[in-house]
Structure 1
Amino acid sequence: MWDSARGRIVLADDHPVFRDGLRRIIQGMDPMVTIAEAGSFDQVLARAREGAAPDAFILDLIFPGFAPDESLTALRREFPASSVIIVSMMDDRATIQKLMEAGADGFVGKTLSAEDMAHAIQAIREGASVVATSADGALAAVPDVPSMLDGLTPRQIEVLDQLSAGFSNKEIARNLGISPFTVRIHVSAVFRALGVQTRAGAAAKAAAAGLNGSSLG
């Protein structure tokens, strides 16, 4: 469950029925979250400026006033700490990659079940970069640049640090205050970035880079 202290979300879709359904999914995971709904990009900006910066923007790919490149750039400039999640029926990989490069933190397909959408959104909110498009609910971490630790995000380095110290996924989740599901996403991304297939292989590369769990308190 998300930390409700940081839970203000701007939800944008020009189809009220889907918007209402997604709002119910989000509130089912965190009843304390505040959701501001919008039907156009102008409304997105207006809702976002009504108080503290939103914890997240959850945006349809196609709705009035939203031009992906320009709009994502504008959101990143004004709300750099907010996560941006795109939801869409579209599943073209090239388009999704462009969205991620433009500043989106994750992409969630509308064909997913309510449970899988909730898991994907939660994982993105907890720091994972996720693309979830298949109807069977398969989730994939966005691959990082395979350049040892330089290719890892700060959260992935934390996960690798604890993995190297021998902690299980459940223990890492408890230590970092995130869900085991999100830990699995991070571990998958770490394996991809380091070019390994096992925890032992990841730990060996971490040790070679000078990371061996010594930062654990």
Structure 2
Amino acid sequence: MADRIIVADDHPLFREGVVRNVKRLMPNATIEQAASVAQVWQLAKAGSEPRLIVLDLCFPGTHGTAHIADLRQAFPRTVIVVVSMLERPSVARQAMAAGANGFIGKSVAAGQFCDTLLAACAGQALVCLADQPALACAAPVPLTPRQQDVLRLITAGKSNKEIARALGISPFTVRIHVSSLFKALGVGTRTEAALRGLGL
């Protein structure tokens, strides 16, 4: 079965340009287009888990990176690459902390876009902004899916009680996961863990 790829942007002309580049890189993939976050969810749930979602950061009616975090939780194996006109390192860090595998500025050259997209699909975590070399985030540490969830929520500044509510588990279980996460990352505090989650 061909890989499923979703390209999501509310600007049709830009979206078509991304689709053309993705087709050139992955000619055998099935590429679907979405103009809204709602359409992304509709397409993503309609079949097998997507191999890749190329996603704008800003859609009408969305704020911040919540839609990235929600997609990451629902589709843990999907590569999510954010492409945004907000080309600031702080914005890129927020997107990566929410669960994106890569962040690409909309004003980068097509070659940089393609190279970063392929690197993200190969397992690298990269931020690529215009006039800057691609920045590799910290090498990913092998974490269990639950540890990844906990790290994402710690990085978002959530307390153990808030993490427990978000994941539907008890605060005691959260403490166990936090302890094992600290050991896996080689850190001793939530701040250090959050910095690792941000790729710093």
- Give TM-score scaled by structure 1 length: 0.61
Distance (whole Å) between structure 2 residues aligned to residue 26 and residue 52 of structure 1:
19
Query: 1:66 Cα shift?
Result: 3.5
Corresponding residue SS for 1:96: helix
Residues 111, 135 of structure 1: 8 Å contact kept? no
Superposition pairs of residues 7-86 of structure 1, within 5 angstroms:
7-86=3-82
For 2:118 and 2:63, the matched residues in 1 are separated by: 25
CA positional deviation for 1:65: 4.0
Closer, same or farther: CA 134–36 of 1 in aligned 2, 3 Å = same
2:2 and 2:30 in contact (8 A); partners too? no
Following superposition, the deviation at residue 71 of structure 1 comes to 1.0
Aligned residue identity for 1:142: C
Between the two proteins, the alignment pairs up a number of residues equal to: 142
Residue 6 of structure 1: how far off its partner (Å): 5.7
1:48-197 to 2 correspondence within 5 Å? Answer: 48-135=44-131, 138-144=133-139, 152-154=140-142
Contact 1:41 1:65 in 2 (8 A): no
Q: Contact 2:3 / 2:29 at 8 angstroms: preserved in 1?
A: yes
C-alpha RMSD of the superposition: 1.6
Amino acid of the structure 1 residue aligned with 2:92: I
Is contact 1:40-1:65 (8 Å) kept? Answer: no
Structure 1 residues 59-68 or 49-58, which shifts more? 59-68
For residue 141 of structure 2, what is the amino acid of its counterpart?
T
**Is contact 1:85-1:108 (8 Å) kept?**
yes
- In 2, the alpha carbon distance for the partners of 1:68 and 1:6 equals 32
- 1:114 CA drift (Å): 1.1
Gaps of 5+ in 1: 145-151, 155-217
Which of these two proteins has the greater Rg computed from alpha carbons?
Answer: 1
One-letter amino acid matched to 2:107: T
Once residues 115 and 93 of structure 1 are traced to their aligned partners in structure 2, the CA distance between those partners, rounded to angstroms, is 20
